[in-house]
Amino acid sequence: MIFTNYLVCFFLVVLGIYCMVSQKNLFKIAVGMGLVDYGVNLLIVSVGFHDGGTAPIFNISELTRSSFFVDPIPQALTLTSIVIGACTTAMTLCLIIMLYKQYGTLQSDEIRRLRG
């Protein structure tokens, strides 16, 4: 089951990068960025997941060698990363709107005044 997770997150990341590379529409590029983000988030969560583990909620006295639980740190990392991803998306969309106002187009190959 965990193997499926890795497969899916690999697939998501590759799909996202492919989307960013091949799609000329700025919104689709933003979607690609989102896909890469989700893929990585899934990767981090999967890393901390233990099949059959309980939720990591313990008193310090309950904690024993034999207690088997899901690693909480990756979940914290994922939360942070999701927040950052949301910010990135917001910023990207912002810039796309402004770009559309200035250039009058959403095609990435027409937005290339800086080159060479």
Partner 1 sequence: MYDFMYHFPVLAIMVLFLGAFIASLVGRRNAVIRNAVVLIAMVTSLVLILSLVKPILLEGQTITYWLSNWEPVGDWAIGISLEVDALSLFFALIVVVAVFVSGVYSFFYMDRDDSLVNYYTLFSMLSGSVLGLVLSGDLFNMFVMIEIMTFTAVALTAFRNTYEGALEGAFKYLVVGSLGSTSVLIGIALIYSQMHTLNLAQLAAMLPGYDSPVTIIAFAFLFVGFGSKAFLFPFHPLAADAHAVAPASISLMISGVLTKCGVYGIIRLAYTVYQNVDVNVMNALKSVCNPMNANFVQYFITGVGVVTMFICVTMAFNQHNFKRLLAFHSISQVGYVITVIGLGSALGLSAGLFHAMNHTIFKGLLFLTAGAVQHATGSLDLDELGGLSKKMPGTCALFLIGAASISGLPPFNGFASKWMIYQAAFQKAGETGNFFFVVVCVAALITSVLTLASFIKVAQSVFFGQLNPKFAKTREVSLGMRIPMWILAILCVVTGLFPDKVQQWLLAPATSAAMNAAGYIDAAMGQGYAASFSIPSFQPQSIFLSGAWQPVMWLLLLVSVTLAVCIVALLGSDDKAPAISETNTDTPADPKYESFFSGEASVYSQVGGSDLFWGFKHNWRHYFSFMHNWHSGVVNDYTLYGAAAIAVALVLCVIFL
Which stretches of the chain bind partner 1, using CB under 8 A? 13, 17, 20-24, 26, 29, 33, 36-37, 40, 43-44, 47-48, 71, 73-74, 77, 80-81, 84, 87-88, 91-92, 95-96, 98-99, 102-103, 108-109, 111-116
Give the residue among 99, 109, 97 at the shortest CA–CA distance from 22. 109
Work out how close the CB of 37 gets to partner 1 at its nearest, in angstroms, rounded to a whole number: 7
φ, ψ for residue 69, nearest 5 deg:
-145, 165
Q: Which is nearer to partner 1, 7 or 24 (CB)?
A: 24
Q: Which is nearer to partner 1, 8 or 77 (CB)?
A: 77
CA distances from 63 to 57, 69, 96 (A): 10, 10, 50
Structure tokens at 107: 């095609």
Work out how close the CB of 82 gets to partner 1 at its nearest, in angstroms, rounded to a whole number: 11
Work out how close the CB of 45 gets to partner 1 at its nearest, in angstroms, rounded to a whole number: 9
Exposed e or buried b per residue across 63-94, where buried means at least 16 C-beta atoms within 10 angstroms of its C-beta: eeeeeeebeeebbeebeebeeebeeeeeebee
Q: Which is nearer to partner 1, 7 or 95 (CB)?
A: 95
